[in-house]
Structure 1
Amino acid sequence: MEVSRDLAALSVPLVGELVAVDDPWDPYRLIDPAGQAVEGAAAFLRDLQGAGRSASTARSYGMDLLRWFRFLWAVGVPWERASRLEARDFSRWLQIAGQPRRAHWRRTSESGRWTAGGKPYAPSVRAHSETVLRCFYDFHRDIGSGPVLNPFPLDRSRHGRRAHARRNPMDLPRNERAGLYRPSVPGRVPRSVPDEEFNEIFARLPSHRDRALVAFYVSTGARAGELLSTWQAGVDPGRQLISVVRKGSGEVQELPASADAFVWLRLYQVEMDDAIPRGRRLPLWWTLRSPARPLTYHAVHRMFERAGARAGTSATLHALRHTAAYRMAEDPSLPLTDVQFVLGHAQLTTTQLYLTPRKEVVIRRLLAHHCEQTRQAAARMTPPPAAGYRPESLEVLFGAGAR
């Protein structure tokens, strides 16, 4: 019999946390409300590490697990006994309740609670959460430590098909691994920063370091974390190359950058010459406040958010990568395979997304089209002057453009 659960009145305490540990064997741990590590989550994260996943992937998966465990702690169901009903209610909770409201940092005595009415989660976030939790329970089912039936099953519409049946080439392609509670993720055009908006943001950057970072982001197309992985010996101004560690593969790759990016980098190095530790294998980017510490992704993200707020825009740091990709893809002298190599895409189809016209370009072209249509319609409505009239006389009588 199905258990009736009033989700509208449910309040999920923001207990437990995902903590970073200075241990290469166990970089992240999921902590329960009693302060103990959740062994089920720890075993899953160890399996991810064994499969070659990076620490950032473990953090991303751990945050999805934390949301799920908080929901289970609130409804009083152990994770080993979770069923499809809990998975369904959790999917509904993410969709309707939205993101949790956190307590203000100045009022530490207040315990944050996750209630309905927050900012909605993006479909991509909910889809990622469903995939992570399905993999989590698949792992524990295979090793015999979890429920026999996965609470997050695959879509039941594929269950009626014959095993290993050939697909009709006339049928539309379908995702055979789509989860039952996985939301539909709309296809989105990568968002770039228009040139005028970018110039406004760049003009409001407060330091040479920030200008160098943004100039490298918009000219190399590197991801935010990849550029921050550069060490001091990885910069070659003579060849206009900067070395980064690629996400996922971990390979070191040289990326060409614009000349002005190296100019801003040199100004930053001269300005911070006495405050930055020197060493060929030391990081290139450091904090501006003493004591100097290696710059992190979250610090760069907040820096760009503050500059964008001063410029009156909501552009994100990752949008700089899309901007660089669009600029490269729009250059007719640059093959698309070269753009794929620079961006580090595994598939050329991913790079082809940047062949889609940008929104601002489409709007500008359509407005020009409408203006031309209006001009042509006005020209057709104006009859030509009768034979024998001098154009100069018409201009005196009716003004310039009367013809």
Structure 2
Amino acid sequence: MAVDDSWEPFRLVDANEAIVDGTRAYLRDLLASGRSEATARAYGMDLLRWFRFLWAVGVPWDRATRVEARDFSRWLQVAGKPSRPHWRRHGDQGGGLWVPGGEPYAASVRAHSETVLRDFYDFHRDAGSGPLLNPFPLSRSRRGRGANAHRNPMDPPRNDRAGLYRPVVPTRVPRSVPDEQFNEIFARLPSHRDRALVAFYVSTGARASELLTATRGGTDPGRQLVAVVRKGTRAVQELPASTDAFVWLRLYLLEVEDEIPRGRQVPLWWTLRSPRRPLTYHAVHRMFERVNARTGTSATLHALRHTAAYRMAEDPNLPLTDVQFVLGHAQLTTTQIYLTPRKEEVIRRLLTHHAEQTRHAAARVAPVPAAGYRPESLQTLFGVDAR
């Protein structure tokens, strides 16, 4: 639950809105270590999923064992995501209650949940307020052995801190928006504000939440820079943007000039409806979903960041280290994933290859056998009529 308290912005509460025992100290320690409020919220959602499972089976959190951890990990695999009707359709079937049996949780979600819960119980074990044995232990093959022991130093490093119930997360190619699909989406955007937002997303490579931190004083059209607050470090960084993005921004600001406050620290993005309010991530996400519904596409808002990264990485005049700086990656290996060819381009090139092979096969002329060879022998050997 989000609260208006900068000291404790999120709290984990039960059905009676009482703070769940053990979570308050953990989230406070998480924020004290420099993690962002968004990280605290994400960790809290993983904890809420675990506590709901414990409430259902009637086991206190400090009495949980490996049996509950095993069953919870298996439940995430087979139960599926809970779903509930939209708040506008609260009177429909279900009455707003959570209904199990939706699509299964992704492996990345289950892996993140296992990491959070293992860290949660490690925290309480060190503080002396939880069980002595972590219900989410490390893998049996890694226990009692040093990190990277008996490993060839020429081999890439392996993860020797894998949890026992941590699933294998498949390596995925970042999903970008093809140029034809992007042009169609951009043409259906309903306002100058939305066009400016999408143009900034696809030219700066900023995350959706990062661009929304921009202020009126943080934009510099003369130098084509916009300042955003980075998600991880919370540092302010200037990002270069395209000329088109600043053109759409100017058109948007002319429309709302008399309806939004002025000042260098005033948020740059506002809602279109009155009363004007600062734009939130969920509002932008919903706007992009509506555009996708009109165009019949399935692009995501985060895919615009991947699209910008691919466009930068494919430019031979732009070093990969520059792309790393703009995207805000801590490691160059993270940026290197954008050197992987796009799925659409691979499919297009392979289809062209197959068509070319078919054309060559149709134009190929069967060789004429030399005199003295028996035609039935050549037909048996090559499978064609060699006469």
> TM-score, normalising length from structure 1?
0.87
Residues 28-47 of structure 1, C-alpha deviations (whole Å, 9 max, x = no match) = 00111222111311111000
Which is further off, 271-280 or 255-264? 271-280
Residue identity matched to 2:151: R
Quote the Cα distance in structure 2 between the aligned partners of 1:241 and 1:196. 27
Do the aligned partners of 2:148 and 2:158 also contact (CA within 8 Å) in 1? no
Name the counterpart of 2:19: 37
1:298 to 282, 293, 297: 282
Which residue of 79, 84, 100 maps to 2:61? 79
**Matched residue type, 1:72:** L
In structure 2, which of residues 53, 69, 73 is the aligned counterpart of residue 91 of structure 1? 73
Please, which of 90, 98, 110 is the counterpart of residue 95 of structure 2? 110
Percent of pairs with identical residues: 77
Distance in 1 between residues matched to 2:271 and 2:229, nearest whole Å: 20
Give the match's secondary structure for 1:254: strand
- Structure 2: distance between partners of 1:311 and 1:26: 42
Report the counterpart of residue 47 of structure 1 in structure 2: 29
Shift of residue 113 of structure 1? Answer: 3.5
Find the residue that maps to 1:145 and give its secondary structure.
coil
Name the CA distance, whole Å, in 2 between partners of 1:164 and 1:182: 19
- Structure 1 residues 171, 279: closer, same or farther in 2, change over 3 A? closer
Distance in 1 of aligned mates of 2:240 and 2:179 = 21
Task: Evaluate the alpha carbon distance shift between residue 34 and residue 197 of structure 1 in structure 2; reply closer, same or farther with a 3 A threshold.
Answer: same
- For 1:181, the equivalent position in structure 2 comes to 165
AA in 2 matched with 1:102: R
Matches within 5 A, 1:377-392: 377-381=361-365
SS in 2 for 1:30: coil
- Post-superposition Cα deviations, 1:301-335, rounded to whole Å, max 9, x if no partner, equal 11111111111111110000000000000011111
Letter of the 1:113 counterpart:
W
Contact in 1 for aligned 2:86/2:96 (Cα 8 Å): no
1:239 matched to 2:223: yes
Q: Deviations over 1:23-77 (max 9, x none)?
A: 1100000111222111311111000011000000000000001111111111111
Unaligned 5+ segments in structure 1 are 1-18, 385-403
- CA RMSD in angstroms comes to 1.9
Query: Structure 1 residue 114: deviation in Å?
Result: 4.6
- Where 2:11 maps in the other structure, the secondary structure is strand
| CA spacing shift, 1:133–1:162, aligned 2, 3 Å | closer
CA distance in 1, matches of 2:256, 2:55: 49
1:184-263 alignment, distance < 5 Å: 184-263=168-247
Output one character per residue of 1:274-322: Cα deviation in whole Å (capped at 9) or x when no partner.
2111111010001111111111111111111111111111111000000
How many Å separate the matches in 2 of 1:204 and 1:362? Answer: 28
Determine whether 1:138 maps to 2:127: no
1:317 aligns with 2:289: no
Deviations 1:350-372 (A, max 9, x none): 11100111011111111221222
Q: Does 1:275 align with 2:259?
A: yes
Query: Aligned pair 1:28/2:17, yes or no?
Result: no
Aligned-pair CA distance for 1:204:
1.2
Specify the SS of the correspondent of 1:381: coil
Return the offset for 1:187.
0.2
Measure the CA separation in 2 of the matches of 1:307 and 1:233: 30
1:378, distance to aligned residue in structure 2 (A): 2.6
The one-letter code matched in structure 1 to 2:21 is: E
Alpha-carbon deviation of 1:101?
2.2
1:111–1:365: structure 2 CA closer, same or farther, 3 Å change rule?
A: closer
Q: Secondary structure at the match of 1:243?
A: strand
SS in 1 for 2:28: helix
Within the alignment, does 1:157 sit opposite 2:117 as a pair?
A: no
Quick one: distance in 2 between partners of 1:113 and 1:346? 38
CA-to-partner distance for each residue in 1:217-258, whole Å, 9 max, x for gaps?
000000111100001001111111111111111111111111
- Supply the AA of the counterpart residue of 2:278: P
Tell me what 1:343 maps to: 327
Distance 1:204 1:164, change over 3 A: closer
- 2:155 and 2:307 map into 1 onto residues whose CA distance is 36
Matched letter for residue 155 of structure 1? S
Instruction: Please give the TM-score of this superposition, normalised by the length of structure 2.
Output: 0.90
Matching residue of 2:45: 63
Give the superposition deviation at 1:200. 1.2
What residue ranges of structure 2 are gaps of 5+ in the alignment? 369-387
1:67, 1:240 → 2: CA distance? 44
Q: Which amino acid aligns with 2:233?
A: S
Aligned residues: 365
Equivalent in the alignment of 2:373 = none
Matched to 1:354, the amino acid is Y
Give the Å deviation of 1:207.
0.7
Q: 2:261 is paired with a residue of what secondary structure?
A: coil
Shift of 1:163: 8.4
